[in-house]
Amino acid sequence: MYKSSKRLVNKMAKLALTKKAEDVISMDLRGLVSTCDFFVICHGTTDVHVKAIADAIEDGLREVDEKPWHVEGTEGKRWILLDYVNVVVHVFDPETRDYYQLERLWGDAQIQKYEDE
């Protein structure tokens, strides 16, 4: 179990990258909103890829006893949301990510980019 939201964010980003997620970022929302501390945002190239990324994050965190409070979007696979209360993961397809532009909507947030090592 992760006691630090930031450590959880780093683990989520690394798990997304194991499935070749694209443009993986985290947004530090502390002080901007009261609903959560961080967003982790990434995208896959197809609906199957989006689902594989979300599954990798969820499965990897279950191994360390972290379970999502809520999951949405697994049917449509265009935007899968994994809500871990303090951290919310958004796994998009490219068109949906471009349409909603969460990075722009929360433009005041500090953004960290993650890349495959």
The domain made up of 5-114 is a member of CATH 3.40.50.1860 = no
Q: Has residue 104 got a pLDDT over 80?
A: yes
Please report the pLDDT score of residue 78 as a whole number.
95
Show me where the domains of the chain are located: 5-114
Please report the pLDDT score of residue 117 as a whole number.
73
The owner of tokens 């190239």 is 45
Per-residue pLDDT, averaged over 45-50, amounts to: 97
Instruction: Report the C-alpha gap between 102 and 112 in whole angstroms.
Output: 14
Task: Taking each helix axis as running N to C, give the angle between helix 5-18 and helix 47-62, from 0 to 180 degrees, rounded to the nearest 10.
Answer: 130
Q: Has residue 2 got a pLDDT over 70?
A: no
Q: Where are the beta strands (DSSP E) in 8-93?
A: 22-28, 38-43, 70-72, 79-83, 87-92
Please report the pLDDT score of residue 90 as a whole number.
98
Q: What is the pTM of this model?
A: 0.94
Please report the pLDDT score of residue 59 as a whole number.
98
